[in-house]
Amino acid sequence: MTDRYAVMGNPIAHSKSPRIHALFAAQTGQDLVYEAILVEPGGFAAAADAFRAAGGRGLNITVPFKQDAWVYADRLSARAERAGAVNTLVFGTDDVLGDNTDGLGLVNDLERNLGCSIAERRVLVLGAGGAVRGVLQPLLAAAPASLTIANRTAATAAELALMFGDLGRVYGGGLDILDGKRFDLVINATAAGLTDEVPPLPDDLLADGAWCYDMVYGDRPTAFVRWAHAHGAAHAVDGLGMLVEQAAGSFRLWRGVEPATAPVLAALRAG
């Protein structure tokens, strides 16, 4: 019997996850189908219940439902527990496991695919939502010199800094805390990227040789990638590699096999 998987979010029509998992399945000989499902605000639990009742084996979760999925799961992996956000649900016979492969995907893309070492770099993360919660622990495990979280709502960033402060030098606040500071790696995880916008950032934010990474991806350079190039970034990339790497983590959880990500990423870049 063909196993069913899906990604749920809003918006979702742009998602490349169905193609990624179809390529993984073909590569590894797995019998599965994977679809994208639009879920209305407030409707996540009912949609997940319906998918599971219809025989679904697992879900990926994207914005804005990662914290809803954290609540929905019966049990959580250690990294999902810490993050307070879930991007992968595994439907077992008796319960639902919630995990988070976002941070693993980000770090693997930066360090393995792109050759950007995080250790000893001054890292800035823009945003403080569910996507950020999922990547902070893996980022800090990579031993940056410091990690700053900046968000339009200062209190949310400050709260995250307190939550993860035992893992390294973590600072949090509003966008105003960026004045006069320079960073080696800037990661954009704001919702502004979904509407092709950029948060208001200082012109002198980037250190010499800085990397800029946008968690959003698109068929053309994102607004943040364009901003980065215009402000002297040595490297500016979108989040397509993170998408493929976090998908590989989910696929491994569901199927127990490790797909090769390089050929899938190359296929997506080629269109």
- Catalytic residues, by residue number, are 66
* CA distances for 94 relative to 45, 52, 97, 101, 169, angstroms: 17, 12, 10, 22, 40
How far is Cα 238 from Cα 194, in angstroms, rounded to an integer? 12
In sequence order, what are the residues at sequence separation of 6 or more whose Cβ sits closer than 8 angstroms to the Cβ of residue 170?
136, 140, 146, 147, 148, 149, 160, 161, 164
Cα(108)–Cα(237) distance, integer angstroms: 14
The answer to the question of whether 113 is labelled as a binding residue is no
Q: Is 128 annotated as a binding residue?
A: yes
Give the angle 223-225-231 at the CA atoms, nearest 5°: 100
Residue 146 is labelled as binding a ligand: no
16 is in an annotated binding site: yes
Residue 217 is labelled as binding a ligand: yes
Determine if residue 2 is labeled as part of a ligand binding site.
no
* DSSP letters spanning 204-242: T-EEEEEEEEES---SS--HHHHHHHHTT-SEEE-SHHH
Ligand-binding annotation for 129, yes or no, is yes
Q: Is 108 annotated as a binding residue?
A: no
In angstroms, what CA-CA distances link 260 with 19, 88, 175, 245?
14, 19, 38, 9
Distances in Å between the Cα of 44 and the Cα atoms of 69, 70, 238, 245 are 8, 11, 28, 24
Q: Is 62 annotated as a binding residue?
A: yes
Burial group, residue 184, by CB count within 10 angstroms (0-12, 13-18, 19+): buried
Whether residue 127 is annotated as binding a ligand: the answer is yes
Residues within the annotated binding site?
A: 15-17, 62, 87, 102, 127-131, 215, 217, 239, 246
Residues within the annotated binding site for shikimate?
A: 15-17, 62, 87, 102, 217, 246
Residues within the annotated binding site for NADP(+)?
A: 127-131, 215, 239
